[in-house]
Structure 1
Amino acid sequence: MELGISTFVETTPDVNNGVTLSHAERLREVVEEIVLADQVGLDVYGVGEHHRPDFAASSPAVLMAAAVPLTTRIRLTSAVMILSSADPVRVFQDFATLDGISGGRAEIMVGRGSFTESFPLFGYDLKDYEELFDEKLDLLLKLREPGKVSWSGKHRPAITNLEIYPRPEQNPLPVWIASAGTPESAVRAGTLGLPFALAIIGNVNPSDYAMHVRLYKEAAAKAGHDVSKLPIASHSHGYVAETDELAVEAFFPSTHARTNVRAVEKGLPPYHRADYDAARSFDGALYVGDPDTVARKILHLYEHVGITRFLLHVPHGSMPHAQVMQAIRLFGTEVAPRVREGIKRLKA
């Protein structure tokens, strides 16, 4: 079971004082968070690509590369790259470079993206949303193969008998497919034999995602892949503090503010304290509480859904850096040991 942290490098107003950090300040904070995650024994850190004023993560590979000389073991992944609006050649080159300088610790997690600002920015039409992803994923997977590449498609100029450099240290460079929970994504990832990541967020019961894992494994087995070797990850918002009460009260203000911004953007109903309390319950998708509470929820997800990697997304909306660092510290030093011991007991 791998445990880690993910972020979108939030730069929203601090609900306590109204101050918004500059992108530069927040980027430097994230480097510190990656370093701490490595120091406390976490396995992976993920940065999600966005192109908005309230997130400073337009270039995940560059940001994570800044932490490489300061870390020794933590794996570094996008979470996610919006492949539909990106150039797969450049994505591969960026992460092959990250892989080389990190000594083989890079991964690419790709998805369609629930935020669509990158499409007009890079000149793509949203009507091609599905077709773009399928075509570009096909090219990205071809780029992992050694030797010269020949490829043609509709939305990018063809490549004819060309080699792509640099080559990564890992062969092949890991590519994950991420999904918000559509059956089609589960089947696609399984058929391709790629690691699969689920975004388990919002007003959902995480146990319901067992269906997607089952579809994924069935598709993988049908395609002839060794299901036992395929990792399955989940990503959920959360926060860890010394007590349940401290965690709940610290995480609510920024979560409430951020969720209501998205509610307005998407035309959804407002988010209230009752929604938050329901989501932080044992059957909810918020992993908020003291180390015992968070560990129990992760173990339940492991046992009933079948994940092999869990990413805690913190913060959700801007929070004081010291609070985020303390949550990461507790996640690594208190939650992770409980989860690992709990898995040993389940396997005994």
Structure 2
Amino acid sequence: MELGIGMFGDLAFDQTTGKYRNAGVKIREILEQVKLMDEVGIDVFAMGEHHREDYAVSSPEMVLAAAASITKNIKLASGVTVLSSSEPVKVYEDFATLDLISDGRAEIFVGRGSFIESFPLYGYSLNDYEALFDEKLELLLKINTEENVSWFGKLRAPMQNQTVYPRAKNDGKLPIWRAVGGTPQSVLSAAQLGMPLVVAIIGGMPIQFKNLIEFYKQEYRKAGHDESAMQIAIHSHTFVSDEKDVVDGYFHNYKSQMDRIGSSRGWAPYTKSQYEGGRGKDGALFIGNANEVADKINYMKEIFGITRFIGHMDVGDPANDVMMKSIELFGEKVASQVK
């Protein structure tokens, strides 16, 4: 059972200045936080990709490369690489380079992403939303297993006996996970391809995802893949503090981000009752003291049989000292109870 921490690089909005917090300061804080994760024994760090004013990181590869130089053991993953609007050759080259810098610690989580800003930014049509991802995933997986690539698709120029360098440390192969939000077709595709699965569970009740994860296991076996190699992770909003007033106060950070995203999606304002409900045993928020968070992760292990849990820990941009304490507790107290 591996424990990881994920981040998107959320930037708090200052009502006084009318501006978001400085992205450079935030990125330097993230690096300080990843260094601490490595020191307290966290297994994985996953950095997200966004192309918006309220997030600091549009290029996870750059942040992960910087993190590689100040860490020794922690695995470094994208969380996620928005593959539909990325170039598979460049994705492989960037992460193979990261893998060599970090001596074999790079991973890629590929997904469609929950925002669409990257499509017009990079000149892609949303009409090709599904086809782009499927075609680019096919190419990325081929590059990952073959040094000499010949490939033909409909939305990208073909490759004819072309090589992609540098190659990753493990015979050129990088761990590539499929990140999904709950779509059965995405889960089926991951299972048939034998890809490790990351399920984002950020609302409602986690138990509602049990049938989906069982479906993945069933189709993975049916496709003839080695069951002992099966890996399943969940990725959920997480925050740890043994001080009740800090947990209560974190509601304001969380609400600010939920309301900011929700304003463009037609969501009602986020409430304290939603926060407390999500923190309960059956809710999707892993927010509370170390014992509460550990118990909840163990419950997920029991109902899903997960091999990895990623706690998404910077929603609403908590202060750096608060984040550092949350990371310390996650690595030292939560991990000991889960492992």
Which interval holds the TM-score relative to the shorter structure? over 0.9
- Alignment match, 2:191: 190
Report the CA distance between 1:21 and its aligned residue. Answer: 2.4
Contact 2:6 2:48 in 1 (8 A): yes
Change (3 A) 1:57 1:95: same
Deviates more, 1:36-45 or 1:171-180: 171-180
- Kept in 2: contact 1:247–1:290 (CA 8 A): no
Cα distance in 1 between the residues matched to 2:15 and 2:97: 38
Contact 2:20 2:53 in 1 (8 A): no
- Distance apart, 1:147 and its partner CA: 2.6
Letter of the structure 1 residue corresponding to residue 12 of structure 2: T
Letter of the 2:37 counterpart? A
AA partner of residue 113 (structure 1) = G
Which residue identity does 1:256 align to in structure 2? K
Compute the displacement of 1:269 (Å).
Answer: 1.7
**CA separation of 1:14/1:218 partners in 2, compared to 1, >3 Å: closer, same or farther?**
farther
> Cα 1:308–1:167, aligned 2, differ >3 Å: closer, same or farther?
same
Matches within 5 A, 1:203-218: 204-218=204-218
Q: Is the 8 A contact 2:151 2:160 kept in 1?
A: yes
Indicate yes or no: 2:261 matched with 1:262: yes
Aligned-partner residue type, residue 105 of structure 1: R
Q: Is 2:150 the counterpart of 1:150?
A: yes
Q: Percent identity?
A: 46
Specify whether residues 136 and 193 from structure 1 end up closer, same or farther in structure 2 by C-alpha distance, changes over 3 A only: same
1:52-201 correspondence runs (5 A): 52-171=52-171, 172-201=173-202
Q: CA separation in 2, counterparts of 1:65 and 1:46?
A: 12
Give the residue type in structure 2 aligned to 1:300.
Answer: Y
CA deviation after TM superposition for structure 1 residue 170, in Å: 2.3
> Which runs of structure 2 are paired with 1:238-277 in the superposition (5 Å)?
238-243=238-243, 245-277=244-276
Task: Report the secondary structure of 2:107's partner residue.
Answer: strand
Q: Which amino acid aligns with 1:123?
A: G
What is the deviation of 1:146? Answer: 3.1
Match of 2:78, as an amino acid? Answer: S
Instruction: Determine if contact 1:6/1:45 at 8 Å carries over to the other structure.
Output: yes
- Kindly report structure 1 stretches of 4+ aligned residues shifted beyond 6 Å: 15-19
- Deviations 1:17-42, CA, capped at 9 Å, x for gaps: 98742111111111111110000000
Cα pair distance change 1:19/1:327, threshold 3 Å:
farther
1:101-136 deviation per Cα after TM superposition (whole angstroms, max 9, x unaligned) = 100000000001110000000001111111111000
* TM-score using structure 1 length: 0.94
Residues 276-319 of structure 1: CA deviation (Å, up to 9, x unaligned) = 11111110010011110000000000000121111111111111
C-alpha distance in 2 between matches for 1:235 and 1:270: 23
User: C-alpha separation between the residues in 1 aligned to 2:18 and 2:295?
Assistant: 35
The SS at the match of 1:324 is: helix
Name the SS for the 2:287 alignment partner: strand
Query: Secondary structure, in 3 states, of the residue corresponding to 2:314?
Result: coil
Tell me how far apart the structure 1 counterparts of residues 211 and 45 of structure 2 sit (CA, whole Å): 26
Deviation at 1:207, TM superposition (A): 1.8
Change (3 A) 1:45 1:16: farther
TM-score under structure 2 length normalisation: 0.97
Q: Does 1:335 align with 2:302?
A: no
- C-alpha distance in 2, partners of 1:278/1:156? 46
Q: What's the offset of the Cα at 1:210? A: 1.5
**2:312 equivalent to 1:313:** yes
Contact 1:210 1:306 in 2 (8 A): no
* Contact 1:15–1:257 (8 Å) recurs in 2: no
Cα displacement string for residues 156-177 of structure 1 (whole angstroms, at most 9, x for unaligned residues): 1111101100100124211000
Deviations 1:163-205 (A, max 9, x none): 1001001242110000111111111111000000000002x11
Residues in 1 aligned to 2:14 and 2:301: alpha-carbon distance in whole angstroms = 34
Distance 1:196 1:312 in 2: 15
- The aligned amino acid for 1:285 is A
Residue 304 (structure 1) aligns with? 303
8 Å CA contact 2:43–2:73 kept in 1: the answer is yes
Offset at residue 247 of structure 1 (A): 4.3
Specify whether residues 87 and 52 from structure 1 end up closer, same or farther in structure 2 by C-alpha distance, changes over 3 A only.
same
Identify the residue that residue 281 of structure 1 maps to in structure 2: 280
Tell me which moved more, 164-173 or 95-104. 164-173
Distance in 2 between residues matched to 1:212 and 1:309, nearest whole Å:
17
- Residue 272 to residue 15, structure 1, CA distance change in 2 (3 Å): farther
3-state SS of paired residue (2:263): helix
**Is the partner of 2:12 in helix, strand or coil?**
coil
Equivalent position amino acid for 2:36 in 1: L
**CA–CA distance in 1 between the matches of 2:15 and 2:278?**
21
In the TM superposition, what are the counterparts of 1:25-44 in structure 2 within 5 Å?
Answer: 25-44=25-44
Contact preservation (8 Å) 2:20, 2:54: no
Q: Which residue does 2:45 correspond to in 1?
A: 45
Report the Cα distance in structure 2 between the residues aligned to 1:321 and 1:177, rounded to whole angstroms.
30
CA distance in 1 between counterparts of 2:15 and 2:103 reads: 40
- CA RMSD of superposed structures (Å): 1.4
Letter in 2 for 1:308: T
Report the secondary structure of 1:56's partner residue: coil
Q: Which whole-Å CA distance do the structure 2 matches of 1:268 and 1:252 have between them?
A: 17
Q: Is the 8 A contact 1:82 1:111 kept in 2?
A: yes
| SS of equivalent residue, structure 1 residue 144 | helix
Does the C-alpha gap of structure 1 residues 53 and 19 become closer, same or farther in structure 2, counting only changes over 3 Å?
closer
Say yes or no: does 1:24 pair with 2:28.
no
